[in-house]
Chain A
Amino acid sequence: DVKVTQSSRYLVKRTGEKVFLECVQDMDHENMFWYRQDPGLGLRLIYFSYDVKMKEKGDIPEGYSVSREKKERFSLILESASTNQTSMYLCASTSLGQLSYNEQFFGPGTRLTVL
């Protein structure tokens, strides 16, 4: 049973703080993702990693960075938190498909509030 965990369910930070959100998966998945979920906007991709130390920008990378030093762990960093980054953050992972796409397994989400 795939398990994806996130470091916090709820987080409250102040404007300008540096924020770390961590995600860990236990199924040796190559691909990991960070999404942001806002009502009416669906799940928007912030960053994607297809291997250790490899990353790609998604649709909304501004104000975020990521780190993947180990295969099982993918961290999202808000360099200087702003109020417009108040949102639900979801991490996901999936195995590498050779010819087809595979199910993405999501973490429980972190609801971040920036004051």
Chain B
Amino acid sequence: GENVEQHPSTLSVQEGDSAVIKCTYSDSASNYFPWYKQELGKRPQLIIDIRSNVGEKKDQRIAVTLNKTAKHFSLHITETQPEDSAVYFCAAPREYGNKLVFGAGTILRVKS
């Protein structure tokens, strides 16, 4: 089955700097890679996703890149702001039925 590893587990950046979180997956057939953000005390919410027919997707300050050969995908946040502080989870599909395998999470702290 699918296995997802996420690094780093914690990341501190200065406001305005960029942040990068990387995930690797094991199943070469996987074709959908979402990123969820969970602010303190709140529920996880989808912030961006990418499907395997594209290599990069952007939405304002966030972007996701996918390297199918190396089986990894990354979340890039530019011009970080204090409200970007949260736990970020990557995920990859498992089997069928919209099931996902989640990474262990990255705690991002943006220092102002």
Task: Give A residues with C-beta under 8 Å from B.
Answer: 4, 31, 33, 35, 40-45, 48, 50, 56, 58, 90, 94, 96-97, 100-104, 106-109
Contact = CB atoms under 8 A, between A and B. Distances in A.
Interface of B, helix, strand, loop or mixed by DSSP: strand
Contacts of B89: 42-43
Contact of A108 (B6, B42, B46, B101): B42
Contacts of A96: 98
Interface stretch (B14-22, B61-69, B102-110): B102-110
B105 A42 contact: yes
A66 B6 CA distance: 29
Nearest to B6: A42
Contact of B99 (A42, A45, A103): A45
Chain B: interface residue count, which band? 20 to 34
Contact of A100 (B36, B45, B51, B102): B51
B99 to A, nearest CB: 6
Contacts, number: 54
Interface in B17-72: 31-32, 34, 36, 42-46, 49, 51
Contacts of B11: none
A101 B100 contact: yes
Nearest to B99: A48
B9 interface: yes
A98 B103 CA distance: 25
A104 B51 contact: no
A108 B102 contact: no
Contacts of B93: 101
Contact of B98 (A31, A42, A43, A58): A31
Given A40-B9, A42-B89, A42-B105, A104 B43 contact: no
